Amino acid sequence: MQMPQPDAGILGRREAIVARLAAALPADGLVSDPRELLAYDCDALTVYSCPPLAVTLPRSTEEVSAILRICHAEGVPVIPRGSGTGLAGGALPTADAVVLGVARLNAVLETNYADRYVRVQSGRTNLSVTGAVEPDGFFYAPDPSSQLACAIAGNIAMNSGGAHCLKYGVTTNNLLGVTMVMADGEVVEIGGPAMDAAGYDLLGVICGSEGQLGVVTEATLRILPKPEGARPILVAYDSAVTAGACVSDIIRAGVLPVAIEFMDKPIIHLTEAFVGAGYPMDAEALLIIEVEGSPAEIEEQLEKIKAIAETHHPTTLRESASEAQSKAIWAGRKAAFGATGQVADYLCMDGTIPTSALPETLGRMTQLAADYGLRVANVFHAGDGNLHPLIMFDANNPEELRKAEALGADILRLCVEQGGCLTGEHGVGVEKRDLMVHQYDPVDLEAQMGVKDVFDPKWILNPAKVFPLAASQGRGA
Amino acid sequence: MQMPQPDAGILGRREAIVARLAAALPADGLVSDPRELLAYDCDALTVYSCPPLAVTLPRSTEEVSAILRICHAEGVPVIPRGSGTGLAGGALPTADAVVLGVARLNAVLETNYADRYVRVQSGRTNLSVTGAVEPDGFFYAPDPSSQLACAIAGNIAMNSGGAHCLKYGVTTNNLLGVTMVMADGEVVEIGGPAMDAAGYDLLGVICGSEGQLGVVTEATLRILPKPEGARPILVAYDSAVTAGACVSDIIRAGVLPVAIEFMDKPIIHLTEAFVGAGYPMDAEALLIIEVEGSPAEIEEQLEKIKAIAETHHPTTLRESASEAQSKAIWAGRKAAFGATGQVADYLCMDGTIPTSALPETLGRMTQLAADYGLRVANVFHAGDGNLHPLIMFDANNPEELRKAEALGADILRLCVEQGGCLTGEHGVGVEKRDLMVHQYDPVDLEAQMGVKDVFDPKWILNPAKVFPLAASQGRGA
């Protein structure tokens, strides 16, 4: 994976740049000691790393604005960073860049239950947004697996989803407005608690723009009343294709579970060895389907789902009858990534496909993995066709890393070919930058890069991400 | 209302431009006879009108591309037009412009029930999209009042909603992808049936861009399974403030009716005189609240809603017990615009406010109307705070038109002041162009116009709309 050469001119002016930043920030707002910079040399795509020129840790929108004014004047790249939990390298620094970490912007600014929103600073963690409104019976719906740690800023940058986004939508469906600092330090407000936007809907293009259009410092988020209850069922089949067909039928019938999670045989065995959740070891594929609502609603939805599941002749169908049984059903799914990490290094892919293409895609993916001689475990949000194949390899073997990357690229190309998309919720970052040409032709890429030209004419915000380096070369100069 | 002076150079080249278009289109694809052009001199904001230079009526994406290539080369403004039902003058021509009407692009291209979408050409009417999938038990959710006539192209341009958008969202929440012809004739695909988009979410910025970024020729639309049933209740109060408080409480409780419609005393009396729906004449305000689902779901939701409504001491609470009673409850609401048109000319406003600001906004609006000596009737989608005040006046009295426009502007400024927005679902068009400065500061407007610069560098697509003329002057030159 190639990154652009650092700008020698910027490296030469390092001390002057650090001095300007130091003058604008409190003493603890700037990190420039080379040893401390190592803590910011990568995000959760740890196979790539590079310490930045400096790290800034602002406490207010005004400080963010001051940092961007300086970097804009100096022509220094800025890498916005939430909590660093991103899986696509969206917060990977370059040696000539200043990291702008928003973790200290973590206050709750306003809660409004009558209009059902909460306004928070963008560094607040996802789970603590719910924490702030839970005592009053509300919650914030998007729930990435990293929700204990990940920041709302990163959720907005990547348009993050989660297991429950089948019913409640992803970040863009739950984001009402932002305060954003533009590349030159100007502060703008976009959207807000009331419906719609006059003129163009810029909020939509900002959500998912991977920190390339501005630095979001505050967000107005839709909150929802907590449902009365929830109940999962576990359904296992002797073929992944049958499980895929069951998912298609549920979606087609118009029942709307909050989650339909899919696990294939390799991941069932890995997690069972790790947490002993009591999953059926004879199954080729397993679905966890959860519904929410009042007791009557739960009953009615589960009856419909069980009826559909039965038509496909499951090898196991287990409905939770208690809180403890619900926990057990979820235990393996929640431990899936950890269980995989115990036995191998892995790359977590993130492609989407139309739900109806699930059976064929799974079959072809198995064939691809066999061709490369690599193991792939599948655990994913099946309801909305968001796949997360885990490609296992040995990170100490450079040849295996290369093969794993090549298999990952083949899998994502397969998703695009099936009418899907390179990324569901992790973003493009550096990981899928060069694959964008398989999704978009040059006219499409030009239109997207033109939008960046408007927001960030100098291309200082997270410049070497999202677009193929060859395509973006020379922009912003 | 000021429109830019037509370009004398274009007017001088009229015959040559018409000849080029004639050469590229079948004989019935071009209208240039001055008498026939009068049919296209306005949309549903009929107080402003101007015949265009020519009208083109393409039958394919290729013909749309050919028209745009010619107009782009000639520097001629293009006014995209769906069915001409827009209420904000978004399809108002200028004398030097070519209207591009998509009404003949009306085919259904694909239906896919497993992935729950339908792909149609953009000139297809809203209701006939549902018509195409209804026999199989599906429907397309957004339902503008004009749904019998309005085109999907116009729904996308204005991000249209409807009475049922409280539950199902507006157009942007139901649009999965488009085929769009760029200003220079290039054809691009944006979005599609699978989840999310890699890179920037351009679909969001295109939906609601009022025909300024491209001409949409095909759309992939989310369809939903038809609910088993629906049932409305009618609740009346002796004060509009109390009715507003009831709406707030329902939203806060997290019940999600498909519609909460609000009618004030003037509109109740107007519609009752017109259709005799049996509405309570002593009421100051009336709510129509409809829920959908299985019989058990309907029962459960209505119980919660009735309990909340009762706490506010309604003067009438009437639950429908039959199909005929449901029709009667809706009859007055559906006839509201027609009933108003019987007694006066009217301007239909379209502002939004946070739901909790409903009571105060209604009080201040009544005061504003009294100050101007004009009558205002209120009928609107209360659940999502989308107001449609109808300002009644005599169109033959220029002074009254001026006063009605001034009152309309004051009402929309009031919405912005309350934390709301200039437009919910009708768009900015020419009507609210000059009010955009109350919603956005110059930096915001510059960012929006910069996006148009990218998509349409010459500013030939619907140029004199959305932005104040003074702000957009000189762009695209």
Query: B306-359, pLDDT tens digit by residue?
Result: 999 999 999 999 999 999 999 999 999 988 988 998 889 999 999 999 888 888
Q: Is A27 at the interface with chain B, CB within 8 A?
A: no
Q: What angle do CA B63, B68, B71 make, to 5 degrees?
A: 130
**In DSSP terms, which residues pair with A156 in a beta bridge?**
none
The owner of tokens 């038809």 is B226
CA nearest to B175, candidates B150, B206, B210: B206
Average pLDDT for A295-313: 94
The verdict on a CB contact (< 8 Å) between B252 and A113 is: yes
C-alpha span between B134 and A8 (Å, rounded): 64
Question: Both B325 and B401 in a single domain?
Answer: no
pLDDT in tens, A202-243: 999 999 999 999 999 999 999 998 888 999 999 999 998 899
Q: How far is B39 from chain A (nearest CA, A)?
A: 28
**Burial level of B337, CB count in 10 A (0-12/13-18/19+)?**
buried
Question: Does residue B377 fall inside a structural domain?
Answer: yes
Question: Does residue A86 fall inside a structural domain?
Answer: yes
**What is the pLDDT at residue A196?**
67
Which of A196, A197, A454 comes nearest B447 by C-beta? A454
Dmax over CA atoms of chain B, in Å, equals: 70
CA-nearest residue of chain A to B184? A443
B271 in helix, strand or coil?
helix
B161 in helix, strand or coil?
coil
The pair of structure tokens assigned to B309 is: 């409504």
Question: Both B150 and B204 in a single domain?
Answer: yes
CATH number at residue A69: 3.30.43.10
C-alpha span between A103 and A340 (Å, rounded): 29
**What is the pLDDT at residue A11?**
96
Q: Is B103 at the interface with chain A, CB within 8 A?
A: no
**What is the pLDDT at residue B411?**
95
B339 half-sphere exposure, CB direction, 13 A CA radius: 22
Q: How far is B406 from chain A (nearest CA, A)?
A: 19
**Of all residues in chain B, what percent carry a pLDDT higher than 90?**
75
Specify the DSSP class assigned to residue A5. P
Res. A38 pLDDT band, cuts 50 70 90: very high
Residues of A in contact with B423 (CB under 8 A): 196, 198
> A309 with A291: CB under 8 angstroms?
no
C-alpha span between A63 and A102 (Å, rounded): 11
**What is the pLDDT at residue A373?**
95
Specify the DSSP class assigned to residue A136. G
**What is the pLDDT at residue B165?**
84
CA-nearest residue of chain A to B193? A354
Q: What is the count of residue pairs from A and B with beta carbons less than 8 Å apart?
A: 216
pLDDT at B196 over 70: no
Query: In the sheet where A98-101 sits, what is the strand order?
Result: A30-31, A54-56, A98-101, A78-81
The verdict on a CB contact (< 8 Å) between B451 and A194 is: no
**Cβ under 8 Å to A: B residues 222-261:** 224-225, 248, 251-254
Q: How far is A281 from chain B (nearest CA, A)?
A: 30
Number of Cβ within 10 Å of residue A334's Cβ equals 16
> B444 with A454: CB under 8 angstroms?
no
Question: Does residue A400 fall inside a structural domain?
Answer: no
pLDDT in tens, A51-110: 999 999 999 999 999 999 999 999 999 999 999 999 999 999 999 999 999 999 999 999
Q: What ranges in A186-294 are assigned the alpha helix state H? A: 202-206, 240-253, 265-275
- Average pLDDT of the residues of chain B: 93
Res. B58 pLDDT band, cuts 50 70 90: very high
pLDDT at B390 over 80: yes
Element (H, E) at B30: strand B30-31
**Of all residues in chain A, what percent carry a pLDDT higher than 90?**
75
Question: Does residue A258 fall inside a structural domain?
Answer: yes
Q: Is A442 at the interface with chain B, CB within 8 A?
A: no
| Higher pLDDT among residues A335 and A118, named by residue | A118
Average pLDDT for A427-455: 91
Q: What angle do CA B221, B222, B225 make, to 5 degrees?
A: 135
Question: Both A118 and A57 in a single domain?
Answer: no
For this complex, say whether ipTM is above 0.95: no
Question: Does residue A378 fall inside a structural domain?
Answer: no
Q: How far is A384 from chain B (nearest CA, A)?
A: 7
**What is the pLDDT at residue B424?**
87
B389 in helix, strand or coil?
strand
The pair of structure tokens assigned to B418 is: 């309350």
Average pLDDT for B59-66: 98
- State CA B179 to chain mean position distance: 21
Question: Both A207 and A248 in a single domain?
Answer: no
Sequence letter at residue B450: G
pLDDT in tens, A98-156: 999 999 999 999 999 988 999 999 999 999 999 999 999 999 999 998 899 999 999 99
The owner of tokens 């209740």 is B233
pLDDT in tens, A177-199: 999 999 999 999 998 887 766 77
Question: Does residue B254 fall inside a structural domain?
Answer: yes
Residues 6+ apart with CB under 8 A from A259: A163, A164, A166, A167, A232, A288, A289, A290, A381, A383
Question: Does residue A197 fall inside a structural domain?
Answer: yes
Which of B113, B415, B448 comes nearest A252 by C-beta? B113
C-alpha span between A93 and A296 (Å, rounded): 51
Sequence letter at residue A169: G
Domain termination site, one of A171, A200, A225: A225
The verdict on a CB contact (< 8 Å) between A195 and B159 is: no
Which of A114, A385, A386 comes nearest B248 by C-beta? A114
A98 in helix, strand or coil?
strand
pLDDT at A380 over 90: no
Residues 6+ apart with CB under 8 A from B116: A251, A252, B138, B222, B223, B224, B225
The verdict on a CB contact (< 8 Å) between B209 and A200 is: yes
Q: What ranges in A144-286 are assigned the alpha helix state H? A: 152-158, 165-168, 202-206, 240-253, 265-275
Question: Both B134 and B147 in a single domain?
Answer: yes
> B448 with B471: CB under 8 angstroms?
no
Residues of A in contact with B428 (CB under 8 A): 198-199
Q: What is the dihedral of CA B384, B388, B389, B393, to 10 degrees?
A: 180
- Beta-sheet pairing, A386-387 with B108-112: unpaired
- A interface test, pick of B160, B190, B195 with most A CB neighbours within 10 Å: B195
- State CA A463 to chain mean position distance: 19
The pair of structure tokens assigned to A203 is: 């909020």
CA-nearest residue of chain B to A442? B188
> A161 with A424: CB under 8 angstroms?
yes
Question: Both B243 and B207 in a single domain?
Answer: no
Question: Both B391 and B354 in a single domain?
Answer: yes
The pair of structure tokens assigned to B9 is: 């150079």
Question: Does residue B413 fall inside a structural domain?
Answer: yes
Q: Is B437 at the interface with chain A, CB within 8 A?
A: no
**What is the pLDDT at residue A175?**
96
Question: Both A216 and A322 in a single domain?
Answer: no
Sequence letter at residue A215: V
C-alpha span between A475 and A464 (Å, rounded): 11
CA-nearest residue of chain A to B468? A199
Question: Both B332 and B233 in a single domain?
Answer: yes
pLDDT in tens, B84-131: 999 999 999 999 999 999 999 999 999 999 889 999 999 999 999 999
> B340 with B374: CB under 8 angstroms?
no
| Higher pLDDT among residues A255 and A64, named by residue | A64
Question: Both B234 and B221 in a single domain?
Answer: no
Question: Both B317 and B348 in a single domain?
Answer: no
Domain termination site, one of B337, B358, B378: B337
Question: Both B276 and B236 in a single domain?
Answer: yes
Residues of A in contact with B448 (CB under 8 A): 199-200, 202
Sequence letter at residue A196: D
CATH number at residue A119: 3.30.465.10
Q: How far is A284 from chain B (nearest CA, A)?
A: 23
pLDDT at B197 over 80: no
| Number of domains making up chain A | 3
pLDDT at B257 over 80: yes
Element (H, E) at B112: strand B108-112
Which of B182, B200, B422 comes nearest A209 by C-beta? B200
- Beta-sheet pairing, A98-101 with A78-81: parallel
Domain termination site, one of A306, A337, A368: A337
Which of B192, B384, B428 comes nearest A199 by C-beta? B428
Q: Is A157 at the interface with chain B, CB within 8 A?
A: no
Which of A200, A297, A355 comes nearest B205 by C-beta? A200
- Domain coverage including residue A16: 8-101
Q: How far is B28 from chain A (nearest CA, A)?
A: 32
Q: Is A167 at the interface with chain B, CB within 8 A?
A: no
